[in-house]
Amino acid sequence: MGGDGGPSVTIPGLMYFLRHHPKTEFHLFGDERLINDALEKFGQNSILSRLTIVPCTSSVADDEKPSKTLREKQDSSMAQAVRSIGDGTCHACVSAGNTGALMAFGIQFLGTLPGTSRPAICGSIPSEKGGYLALDLGANLNCSAERLYQFAVLGALTAELVKKTSEPVIKLLNIGVENSKGPPIIQNAAKLMKDDAKLNFKGFIEADELFSTDADVVVCDGWSGNIALKASEGAANLIRRILKDQFNRDFMSKFGKYLLIGDGQKFYRKLNPSAYNGAYLLGLKGSIVKSHGSADIEAFTESINVAKSAVTSSLAQNLATALNV
């Protein structure tokens, strides 16, 4: 029920995913009438046999405070979806809804991993050298040095488990790369990362290097991470619009486009934020993936792909094992 589009986005996205992943099943938590209305557009599709609708009497609004949802929305679609992981009914939860409420329900029903005080939003960011994991992207606006260090540990282990990266390079977002730069919290966090021999910490990274870095993990607090993410998405969309306008001006422009980039689909996809949607709510004893609230069908489908990666790599279980050592 979450996100700007609700079932008009989530249902087509999961139907597309089901067509390409025949061994996957979905439980749909929400307003039964709205879900069925969205499913009607797909006719008597055999895929429907792999769907289970779980009727819910309420949903969480985007502007509701997490504390209120914990008190008053235990029967909501979001609460029941997260609870289904804890009771073993489902392997992962994907939501485009209220981030704070999703994290609150995750902590309540799943709990946090050893040595982790709060979960972080961890997403993939594209770069010239293949991309990296960034965390936190919005779950924790204010972070202590200890929490940033925890994010570095979680990010490094995730890069090893999901991306199969050995000795992942870790960098810490700062206003400069010099050792003297940054507030005390950033300085202390860098020291904690340096002092951990298990971490391949390579110092600071500035925002202008986020798309050219060789890092495998970039650590930041949720405030700066979310701003950096949304600013980069806005810049990417602007570049796509400018290029399309320029390439479609006249015949010679269109001809030049085909000489340079062919039909442009692969080129434009690299600049499309939808292709990178879906972020792990990392640090919980279970797999929850957060989709952008503004996600379109393509973007929401990608968030389901992220959830599939978490399940097939047994991410939460392997993180728990690694952190218990």
Residue 282 backbone phi and psi in degrees, to 5: -85, 135
Region of residue 264 (phi > 0: left; psi between -120 and 50: alpha; otherwise: beta): left
Q: CA 145 to CA 164: how far, in whole Å? A: 27
**Once rounded to an integer, what is the mean pLDDT over residues 226-243?**
82
Topology alike, domains 7-118+276-324 and 120-275: yes
- DSSP helix/strand/coil, 200: strand
pLDDT at 230: 86
Q: 213 — phi, psi (to 5°)? A: -75, 155
Cβ atoms within 10 Å, residue 82:
28
- Judged against a pLDDT cut of 70, whether residue 324 lies above it is answered with yes
Question: Structure tokens of 205?
Answer: 């990274």
Contact residues for 94 (Cβ-Cβ < 8 A; gap 6+): 278, 288, 289, 291, 300, 303, 304, 307
Tell me the CATH number of domain 7-118+276-324, given options 1.25.40.850, 3.40.710.10, 3.60.21.10, 3.40.718.10: 3.40.718.10
Question: For residue 269, is pLDDT > 80?
Answer: no
Which pLDDT score, from 0 to 100, does residue 233 have? 80
Cα-flanking dihedrals φ and ψ of residue 292, to 5°?
A: -55, 140
pLDDT in tens, 103-129: 999 999 999 998 898 999 999 998 888
Q: What three-state secondary structure class fits 218?
A: strand
Q: What are phi and psi of 306, to 5 degrees?
A: -65, -40
Q: Which residue is listed with tokens 């010679």?
A: 252
CATH number of 120-275: 3.40.718.10, 3.40.50.1220, 3.50.50.60, 2.60.40.1080?
3.40.718.10
The pLDDT of residue 27: 97
With a cut of 60, say whether residue 170 has pLDDT above it: yes
Rounded Cα gap, residues 169 and 206, in angstroms: 15
**Phi, psi of 199, deg, nearest 5:** -100, 135
Helices (H), 196-250: 222-247
User: How many CA atoms does the CB half-sphere of 273 hold within 13 Å?
Assistant: 19
Q: What is the pLDDT of residues 186-199, one digit of tens each?
A: 999 999 999 999 99
| Domain boundary assignment for the chain | 7-118+276-324, 120-275
DSSP assignment string, 73-134: -TTBHHHHHHHHHHTTS-SEEEE-S-HHHHHHHHHHHT-BPTT-SS-EEEEEE--TTS-EEE
| Lowest-pLDDT choice from 84-98, 232-246, 275-289 | 232-246
